[in-house]
Each structure stands twice: as structure tokens, then as C-alpha cells.
Amino acid sequence: MKKFSSIVMYALLLLGLISMLPAILYGENAVDTMLIYTYCLLGLGVLIAVGMSIINIGKNPGGATKALIGIGIIAVVLVISYFLSSTEPMMLAQGKLYDNEFGLILSDMGIYTTYFMMAAALFVAFMTAIKSSIKK
């Protein structure tokens, strides 16, 4: 399995280098190639994460409750960030007014979700450090 994962890693590295080649040769006109490659990697990562989660739930049904609790917490954070987001139009750097409500809500949701998740990660990291220092 370790050999397989290193083969996949080197294959993805080679594909990344190949996708960067047009950007190096042609400049900014080839950014689309790198974005498509990035979207493909993101989709592959999501598919692997979901697939391995389903396999793990099949092997250990008792652990499914922990997974569902995590998914529920993420859903609650997304709902809270949705209600905090604004549809107020904003001026872009080019001087254009951006007033697409879905895009504004989606970008605000992403920002607020990132803030919540970073705060939660920092809280857990600090609590783990405090807990480990108390045990010593």
C-alpha cells in the first residue's frame, strides 16, 4: 500500500508540473489549465475523503455516530454563517458593482465558516496544550 501511495504521489506531482508548463511558457493566459487541475485535485480529494468515510462506517458502525456529530456541527456552522452573511453590493477593484446575491452570500459564508473553523481549531489546540501540561 505504501508503494502504491508513493506512485500516486509522484504521478500527481508530475501532472502538476505538466499543468504548470503552459503557465511558464505562455504567462497568464494559461492560468485556466492550473485552475482546472486544482479543481480536479479538489474533486479527487473530496471523493477519496467521502469514500473512505463510507468504508470506515461500514467497517465500524459504532463510529458512525461520531462522524454524524461532526457533520452536524459543520452543518450548524454553515447555517449560522449563512444568516450572518450580507447581500449588500460591493465595489470591485475594476470599478464595477458586484450585486449577485448568491455570490455575495456564498463568499460571506466561506469567510465566516473559515473564521469559525479557525477559532475552533485554535481553541482545541490551546485546550490540548493546557490539558497535556496539567497532566505532567
What residue ranges do the domains of the chain occupy? 1-59, 61-136
N-terminal to C-terminal alpha carbon distance within the chain: 37
The structure's pTM equals 0.59
Cβ atoms of 88 and 128 closer than 8 Å: no
Which pairing describes strands 97-98 and 90-91: parallel, antiparallel, or unpaired?
Answer: antiparallel
Please give the grid coordinates belonging to residue 52: 473512505
pLDDT, tens digit (0-9, with 9 covering 90-100), for 63-99: 777 777 888 888 899 999 999 998 888 888 888 888 8
CA 78/CA 113 separation, integer angstroms = 6
Mean pLDDT of 107-115: 91
